Amino acid sequence: MHNDALRARVDALMTSQLQGVLATQQHSQPYTSLMAFAHTPDLRHLIFATYRDTQKHANLLLNSAVSFLIDNRSNDPADYQHAVAMSVCGYAQAVPEDERTRFLSVYLAKHPTLSQFASTPDCALLRIVVSSYRVVSEFQSVELLHVSDR
């Protein structure tokens, strides 16, 4: 039961937020980028798009391990007790061509104004294959949800 409740909280947080922070690695140095994202209903993938000629894309080609931060803070002192932050861990990969239509439709359903951007030849559609979600709430309460491979 607890796992189902946590899955529902993870889904609700991702549904409510349009952007998160992608962390890649650049020569052993963390590199972060604010990104629009969407997720699949099974919580196995986060989807994002970026131009191929970017530092984050170059970083992903060298090291696909990523973390993605999603939170609901409001920049208010109450956030210490009420905000929820979630780190998504996994690895990034290009969406395979035979799955592109399905993943692009999930992404554009959440971000219809990014249709032109996501459809340009210079734009890569990527997905994070999720291994786990680490949800932090009430300042220091931590819950971990592992996503199993099927």
Query: What are the pLDDT digits (tens) for 64-121?
Result: 999 999 999 888 877 777 789 999 999 999 999 999 999 999 999 999 999 999 999 9
148: closest CA among 66, 69, 48, 42? 42
The DSSP symbol for 66 reads E
- Answering whether pTM is above 0.85, one says yes
Six-digit token string for 88: 């998504």
How many angstroms separate the CA atoms of 22 and 29, rounded?
A: 14
In the chain, what are the domains?
2-146 (2.30.110.10)
Kindly report the backbone phi and psi dihedral angles of residue 132, in degrees, each rounded to the nearest multiple of 5, phi listed first.
-160, 160
Per the listing, tokens 């780190």 go with: 87
Q: Do residues 100 and 125 touch, judged by C-beta distance below 8 A?
A: yes
pLDDT in tens, 27-53: 889 999 999 999 999 999 999 999 999
The DSSP symbol for 147 reads -
The DSSP symbol for 76 reads S
